[in-house]
Amino acid sequence: MQMGPEHLVIAPIVIPLVAGALLLFFDDRERRLKASISALSAAALLAVSIALLRISHYGDGRVAVYLLGNWPPPIAINLVVDRLSAIMLVLTAVLAIPALLFSIARWHGAGPHFHTLFLFLLMGLNGAFLTGDLFNLFVFFEVMLAASYGLMLHGSGPFRVRAGLHYIAINLAASLLFLIGVALIYGVTGTLNMADLAIRIPQVGEDSRMMLEAGAGILGVAFLVKAGLWPLSFWLPTTYTAAAAPVAAIFAIMSKVGVYILLRLSLLFFGASAGASAGFGSEVLLYGGMATLAFGAIGVLASQSLGRLAGFSVLVSSGTLLASIGLVQGDITAGALFYLVSSTLTISAFFMLIELVERGQDAAANVLAVTMEAYGEGEEEEEEEEEVGIAIPATLAVLGVSFAVCGILLAGLPPFSGFIAKFAILTAMLNPGGLGEQGVITPASWWLVALLIFSGLSALIAMSRAGIRAFWAPVDGSVPRVLLIEIVPVAALLLLTLALTVQAGPVMRFMEATAGSLYAPQPYIDGVMEAPRAVPRQKGGEE
């Protein structure tokens, strides 16, 4: 069988699946071995994801399709890589490596099977970004959620358990809605292949249109729960606050799974080529996103703890993305994709930084305290050995600079990538017809402009207040002990936002090409429906 780039498409699923299953055969006390295997797997994922990103950007944008079982489309279970899915794969791998490194210092020993759960979470995330049919989207969605349940409860403690149980209940309800929506869509169209659905949905008769849109609406609610749309977001700030630092860092991309699916399916199923259903649900995304943005900004202002501030910052990010998608305009979507990458990197770094900052404020909250509850008193001496590396010098200065950079990024101030992303969105909204052309700025756009400015001001006020409290007027003057392996992941993510700033031009051009392919999905549809089956080699090497 010929080996082409299509065979690389399944690697982001196979690598964490095999590595996570392999780690189950090792005792939990073999922590360094497990950590080494996890780190190598994450590095391999990053290498494969970058290779797929290059493949997807080849020429005018290649769509690589892997047909599981070598069945013809649309019967085959297919995995599809285009520019958008490749971006999400790279972003997931980029977040996974710092989160794993951060966990090695202390957190990976606070409960059983941390690395296996982490790798299975990566498998579910990558599968959700790669799958080309709704049923397997549900399968990978459940794999991701099942692993996140274990990670959410990692470290135990009453606050974490209570928040974790709420998180599980909400997501089980969302999964039920997911199944109902998929069943209704299948009942009307007779297929779950996304590309095939894009062909059949415009052909659905008026007598079945209501059932189709009901299924799409129920399916959308399930994704909006994960994306954190207000008022479905009541669970998110508490859950993210309660999670362990490296877990919250990788959870930063989980809300973006809902955003990714909504962006993908809304334009593929109900884009300009969908006839009467064109624009279906866009107003819900627009006004719901603005409500989420306002709610998140108010929550940021009201937050008295750094953890809740970060949790509400996730809602601000989700609200900005959902409202931008709801405007259904290519250049706004391009700016939103830039913002998605920048905000996810920032929030992930901020969750890890929060633990380091708060460690000096309240010694009783040190993460080593969870070990006695998870393993018993006999493990205390082993935890001392788990501190990998040395403590950094000038701790408060390093933490202060990192905190200031996070504040600038969350507020969207120049010169960092957060400002560039918001500037790109605002420019597209205020120039709807392009520079030098006549265009109409809708009242909703003006409201979104005001909310974006308000959210940035809220983040600036909240971060300034928290920074003064943490660094200038701390209740406890003790300097936290921060290990090099803990601060390096934070610094690496912040440096990536700096790289986004420096390379903003090429990155924005890539985002514009990605948005263009989403609004003109015919190459995606043709790539899936015309994907060639693998041809086995004959004896003697001839095909």
Lowest mean pLDDT among 77-81, 334-338, 482-486, 514-518: 482-486
Residue 420 has pLDDT above 80, yes or no: yes
Asked if the structure places residue 543 within a domain, the reply is no
> 16-56 pLDDT, tens per residue?
999 988 888 887 777 788 888 888 999 999 999 999 988 88
Q: Is residue 260 assigned to a domain?
A: yes
Which of 272-281, 297-306, 327-336, 460-469 has the lowest average pLDDT?
Answer: 272-281
**Does residue 285 have a pLDDT over 70?**
yes
Average pLDDT, integer, range 305-322? 90
pLDDT of residue 477: 56
Q: How far is CA 300 from CA 62, 317, 357, 543, in A?
A: 41, 12, 18, 62
| Rounded Cα–Cα distance for residues 283 and 291 (Å) | 12
Residue 536: pLDDT over 50: yes
Q: Residue with structure tokens 């006999």?
A: 378
The answer, yes or no, to whether residue 437 has pLDDT greater than 50, is no
Decide if pLDDT at 182 tops 70.
yes
pLDDT surpasses 90 at 337: yes
Which residue range forms the structural domain that includes residue 358?
A: 5-367+389-531
Round the CA-based radius of gyration of the chain to a whole number and report it.
23
368: three-class secondary structure by DSSP: helix
Most confident range (mean pLDDT) of 149-163, 235-249, 354-368 is 235-249
Mean pLDDT of the chain: 82
Q: Could you tell me which of 99, 90, 100, 165 has the C-alpha nearest to residue 125? A: 90
Domain total of the chain: 1
| 483: β partners | 391
Give 256's contacts (C-beta < 8 A, 6+ positions apart).
88, 91, 227, 318, 321, 340, 344
**232 is a domain residue:** yes
Query: Can you give the pLDDT at residue 499?
Result: 92
Residue 526: pLDDT over 60: yes
pLDDT of residue 293: 92
Lowest mean pLDDT among 126-135, 416-425, 518-527: 518-527
> What's the pLDDT band for 350 if we cut at 50, 70, 90?
very high
State the pLDDT at residue 442: 78
Closest CA to 139 of 89, 91, 179: 179
Q: What is the pLDDT of residues 222-234, one digit of tens each?
A: 999 888 898 888 8
Task: Give the pLDDT score at 521.
Answer: 85
In a domain, 265, yes or no: yes
Mean pLDDT, residues 383-394:
50
Residue 312 forms part of a structural domain: yes
Structural domain contains residue 381 = no
Q: State both tokens at 250.
A: 């990788």
pLDDT score at 109: 63
d(Cα 277, Cα 264) in Å, to the nearest integer? 15
pLDDT at 1 > cutoff 60: no
Pick from 97, 139, 91, 142: which is nearest to 118 by CA?
A: 97
Closest CA to 326 of 311, 336, 341, 338: 336
Using a pLDDT cut of 70, give the percent of the chain over it: 84
Segment among 57-66, 78-87, 185-194, 200-209 with least mean pLDDT: 57-66
Q: How far is CA 65 from the centre of its chain?
A: 22
Would residue 320 count as lying in a domain? yes
Residue 214 lies in a domain: yes
